[in-house]
Amino acid sequence: MTENQYDPIDEVSIDDQFKQIIQNITQKFKFGAENEKKTKTTLREWIAKTWNSIKKQFWEILRYFWNFIENQYWEILHYFLNGGAVGVFYNSLHWIIRIGGTAKANIVTVLDATRLNSLENPTWFARVDAPHGNVPFHHINVNPSYTGHPDPHIQISPFSAEIAEHLGVGLEVVNKISPYLLTFKIAVDVGVIGYNVYKDWKRGSTRNTVKAVTTILSSTAGGFGGIFPGSAIGSLIFPGIGTLVGGFIGGVCGAIGAGIVSDLVFEKFSDDFKYDIDEVTCKKCDKEFESRRYELGEQEMCEECRPQDEPEEKSIIENVIGFVVEKFTEVKNVVVNVVANAVNWFKSWF
Ligand SMILES: [Zn+2]
């Protein structure tokens, strides 16, 4: 067996197979000489065909993205709120922004509310300074007690120092309003859960509520989880102001990431375990079908036998326009309501 493995017959057959494959490819893509004429005459056709397929694929890709944005629009905004509110609230508990400082050259100082000095005052963590004494450029000071190294006096441009000051002013305001933002987040959570309880109550299911609670909890937890790496990265880039900005961005990213992942995992898990999905025999045609009770409520007839009241598939342009009009109307209604209430409230004072 091992002595003479060379077999000329096998070699020939492999060669034949190879020729066959080449022939197939040539025929498929019309490379052969016998097809040359045909290819020439159908070049126009070929271009039209290719163009059509590109157009079709383009719209398909666009439609895919659009469906994603359309379906997850409010969820992603909600995750954003969850992470943002949590990040901002954490920042407000941990860091105090002070525009200026104890010396004239201090532009903006970040103090650590969790570390008090002997006089019960928060210790400074990082500070942006204008040129002074023996440091002839704008720089960031970092408290050596955090790093274990001497104050690095990180050089920055005067422009960066100015940006830091403006950001500091903004972050100070955000710190102040963060409790209200957190309250607003909780109110939205309660509203979303309430809406899903209502949907489930109408449909005789529980899946919508459980999903809402799951995604809210995981996106909030993801927000908390994102704060620390975000703050760390921000501290590397720009100690102090960057720490707060990083905490916020980390919170938002963590919340959106965890929200989307928990949403997908929940759907997969629930589908696999047939959560609120019934096996129903159609009343009309006796066919077995799957009824997603949490979406449509109890169904007695299969999709084919159910009276069709869904509109035909609309084009992507119609979808986009419809979506924009719908969202605009929703926002407009909210604004009109708020204004009307505010006017009534003012009127009640006179
Ligand atoms: Zn049926």
How many angstroms does the Cα of residue 301 sit away from the middle of ligand 1? Answer: 5
Q: Are 238 and 108 in contact (CB under 8 A)?
A: no
How many angstroms does the Cα of residue 196 sit away from the middle of ligand 1? Answer: 29
Q: Which residues pair with 95 in a beta bridge?
A: 112
Residue 182 burial (CB < 10 Å; 0-12/13-18/19+)? middle
- Residue 307, SS3? coil
How many angstroms does the Cα of residue 283 sit away from the middle of ligand 1? Answer: 7
How many angstroms does the Cα of residue 276 sit away from the middle of ligand 1? Answer: 20
Tokens, residue 134: 């023996």
Tokens, residue 38: 């045909």
SS3 content of the chain, % helix, strand, coil (to 5): 65, 10, 20
Residues lying with their CB under 5 A of ligand 1, a single-atom ion: 282, 284-285, 287, 302, 305
pLDDT score for 97 = 96
How many angstroms does the Cα of residue 291 sit away from the middle of ligand 1? Answer: 12
pLDDT score for 14 = 67
Distances (CA, A) of 167 to 109, 175, 238: 12, 12, 12
Banded model confidence at residue 136, pLDDT cuts 50, 70, 90: very high
Give 205's contacts (C-beta < 8 A, 6+ positions apart): 199, 276, 293, 294, 297
Phi then psi dihedrals of residue 311, to 5 deg:
-70, 160
pLDDT higher at 310 or 87 = 87
Span 250-305, pLDDT tens digits: 999 999 999 988 988 898 889 988 999 999 999 999 999 999 999 999 999 998 88
Banded model confidence at residue 1, pLDDT cuts 50, 70, 90: very low
Span 305-347, pLDDT tens digits: 888 766 666 677 777 777 877 877 788 788 778 888 877 777 7
How many angstroms does the Cα of residue 33 sit away from the middle of ligand 1? Answer: 55
Distance CA(85)–CA(93), nearest Å, equals 12
Banded model confidence at residue 23, pLDDT cuts 50, 70, 90: confident
User: Can you spell out the DSSP letters for 41-104?
Assistant: HTHHHHHHHHHHHHHHHHHHHHHHHHHHHHHHHHHHHHHHHHHHHHHHHHHHHHEEEEES-SST
Where do runs of H (alpha helix) occur along 114-157?
144-147
